[in-house]
Structure 1
Amino acid sequence: MKTWSFRRRAVTAVTAVFLLGMGGCIAGIADRPEAIDRTRIAGTWTGDDGARVELHTNGRFEMSNIPRSAVVFSFGDPPPGDGKLSGSGTWQPGHAGDTVDRILLYVEPGGSFADVQVEALGVAESGEEPVLYFSTSPDEWYGLEIRKTPM
């Protein structure tokens, strides 16, 4: 049990450093990264074909109907095929501060995921109708868009 806990922490730390570093590359590509007020992150975000991410105020999240192509598998093998993914775990802003340009999703084993995964949501638009996107890879930095569902 202690080995799993140590492995998970090590994998999470390495991935977070990679994703934060990749954020600098993304900023260079996009010229000016968008940022969202951290108080606006929690809520339900939806995309095409029923994609859904619920970011709860307690730091938990659930996602469903996410296209396989929107998720980069950092650890372990991806599920076979091109279907839809579901999973849950915890989330946190990519850095401290009043505004945030990315949100880290720590996906726990279960649903479509056999191993711990770390995903990043970038901020595409921060205005009245904010838009987040899944960071797909350094080669295709802008992926599936999800929009915040009005309350």
Structure 2
Amino acid sequence: MQSWSFRRKAVTAVAAVFLLGLGGCIAGLAEQPESIERAGIAGTWTGDAGARVELHTDGRFEMSGIPRSAITFSFIDPPPGDGKLSGSGTWEPARDGDKVVSILLHVDAGGSFSANTETQELGVAESGENPVLYFSTSPDEWYGFEIRKIGT
């Protein structure tokens, strides 16, 4: 009898530790952890396979080589292309007090977006010396395709 009680307590303890750890991981994914200073936004950001976003101080941007999967389209027919997107437009910071928590990209018609304009969001994954932004690809998850600032 003692052996069964000990096993049940041990299994319960292991399960509790696992669930607490899993809960912490899920809670960490539930909210965006970072913000960035506006002064740290302008510059060139690059990602895997040649992805590039240039955010200019005048509020304009250009992007190229962005994987189609990184962009969530508001229109039914995605733009033509070989799986990589390009475009340009204007950007603006989305603020929470004095910190920038995301960047809105207002993509003009042209490039891969020949018939429609789009608004995309770049979230802040990491700030500081080596900042990382990401394209928010799903309303159910806060994280997506990463781009890193070069020359900081």
Q: Tell me: CA distance 1:32–1:73, structure 2 relative to 1, closer, same or farther (3 Å).
A: closer
Which consecutive aligned stretches of 4+ in structure 1 deviate over 3 angstroms post-superposition?
A: 27-32
Give the TM-score taking structure 1 as reference length: 0.75
* Cα offset, 1:143, TM superposition: 1.1
AA aligned opposite 2:104? L
Q: Tell me: CA distance 1:122–1:80, structure 2 relative to 1, closer, same or farther (3 Å).
A: same
Kindly indicate whether the alpha-carbon contact (under 8 Å) linking 1:67 and 1:82 is maintained by their aligned counterparts in 2.
no
> 1 CA distance for matches of 2:125 and 2:40?
14
Aligned to 1:146: 147
* Cα offset, 1:28, TM superposition: 8.2
Secondary structure, in 3 states, of the residue corresponding to 2:86?
Answer: strand
* Cα offset, 1:94, TM superposition: 1.1
When the two chains are superposed, the root-mean-square deviation of aligned CA atoms in Å is 2.0
Instruction: Report which of the two structures shows the higher radius of gyration computed on alpha carbons.
Output: 2
Q: How do 1:41-60 and structure 2 match up within 5 A? A: 41-60=41-60
**Residue 69 of structure 1 pairs with residue 69 of structure 2:** yes
Where does structure 2 lack aligned partners over 5 or more consecutive residues? Answer: 1-26
Give the TM-score taking structure 2 as reference length: 0.75
Aligned to 1:107: 107
Q: How do 1:2-151 and structure 2 match up within 5 A? A: 29-31=29-31, 33-80=33-80, 83-95=83-95, 97-113=97-113, 114-150=115-151
Where does structure 1 lack aligned partners over 5 or more consecutive residues? Answer: 1-26
User: What per-residue deviation string (whole Å, max 9, x for no partner) do you get for residues 9-41 of structure 1?
Assistant: xxxxxxxxxxxxxxxxxx984445200011100
